Amino acid sequence: MTSPRDLAALASLLADETRAGFALALLDGRAWTAGELARHGRVAASTASGHLGKLVAGGLLAEERQGRHRYVRLADDRVAHLVEELAAYASPGPAPRPRTLRESSAAHAMARGRTCYDHLAGRLGITVTEAMTARGLIAQDSGFALTGRGVDWFDGAGIPLVRTGRRPLARGCLDWTERRPHLAGVSGARLCAHALESGWCVRIGSERAVKVTAEGERALHELLGIEPGKLR
């Protein structure tokens, strides 16, 4: 059983705005250097180092060193799930109005499509998830699971599903902009990786935003019947 002290200690790790900002930035699934996170958070390198030390010690981040560079990333998909779920619950109302054209463009791109650690999110993730559910590839009537037809679909699409560790084959992840679940787990990660590797999607900007390419529109229309207009 988790003690109240342990739960409070975990919560305190994200109770600081700078540390919370680092965790949100790392939802892009990539490893960042301490210097990159310091600039992202607009704090001194020494301040960033102290915060990162707490997050690593608390088990939320993993670190590795290459030469004189220190890289950090979210410890695993469970941490990513925790951060994304907290982000969804922390934003109960409409997002604040962007102050500049650049902020408005970035917010629109993130809402349209983005990565959530290693799976697709935003309107793109929701559209794909709902199309898979409508075709009986995902069952959401009693929980969230990949069906037998869904497993066959991945195989037929040339996207092998290899389960490692205790990570579920599929699970729903509450989308913080759409407020509906998108596909996560092993299948969500493999679909996202395939979309990026095959050129269906490309990363845009310095955030987590992704854009569906013309090739991706054709593939998703052929495989899931998604009309291109829903992805733009």
> What is the pLDDT, as a whole number, of residue 87?
83
Contacts of 101 (CB under 8 A, 6+ apart): none
Is 192 contained in some domain? yes
Same domain, 113 and 218: yes
13: domain CATH number?
1.10.10.10
Is 180 contained in some domain? yes
Q: Which residues of the chain have pLDDT under 70?
A: 1, 91-104, 206-207
Same domain, 70 and 113: no
Same domain, 197 and 225: yes
Range of the domain at 137: 95-231
Same domain, 161 and 208: yes
Same domain, 224 and 115: yes
**53-105: pLDDT as tens digits:** 999 999 999 998 888 788 999 998 889 889 988 887 776 555 556 566 666 67
Same domain, 67 and 132: no
Considering Cα of 47, then 53, then 54, then 56, what sign does the dihedral take?
positive
> What is the pLDDT, as a whole number, of residue 20?
95
Total domains present in the chain: 2
Enumerate long-range contacts of 201-207, CB under 8 Å, 24 or more apart. Answer: 201/113, 201/120, 201/124, 203/115, 204/109, 205/106, 205/109, 207/28, 207/106, 207/109, 207/110, 207/114
Is 19 contained in some domain? yes
